[in-house]
Structure 1
Amino acid sequence: MSLDRAVTLFAGFMVLLSLALTHWVHPAWVWLTVFVGFNLMQSSITGFCPAAILFRRLGVKPGAAFR
């Protein structure tokens, strides 16, 4: 799995998790969704993505996103 796919998968998982937590635990969990969305927007503008740094340290190799 490439780094781009890992980051995209993680972001999608976090959005779905935060929506589930919002529905079943407490409405304030919606702020996690807001944080993930904000982080996606800022990383597309600045190129800085904490999740990508973490995945790189875990050994995920950069490569073509979709082959």
Structure 2
Amino acid sequence: MARPGLYLVGLLAGIGFTMSIFIATLALQDGNLLSAAKLSCFWPPPWRQSSDWPEEFSTQSA
């Protein structure tokens, strides 16, 4: 991937992340639910495993 394309993907991911936090703040009044929504933006889904990553992105040595 070329460097400009990588910057664009990073910019769009940052906008999407910010909007998800913003919408959660507007939608949820309960502090516990808001905390759970913010944490879920950082936490990977349980079905996602490190073995799903391509070999070049893996941090585990074989």
TM-score (norm 2): 0.46
Which structure exhibits the higher relative contact order, with contacts defined as CA atoms closer than 8 Å and separated by 6 or more residues? Answer: 1
- Report which of the two structures shows the higher radius of gyration computed on alpha carbons: 2
TM-score (norm 1): 0.43
- Structure number with higher helix proportion: 1
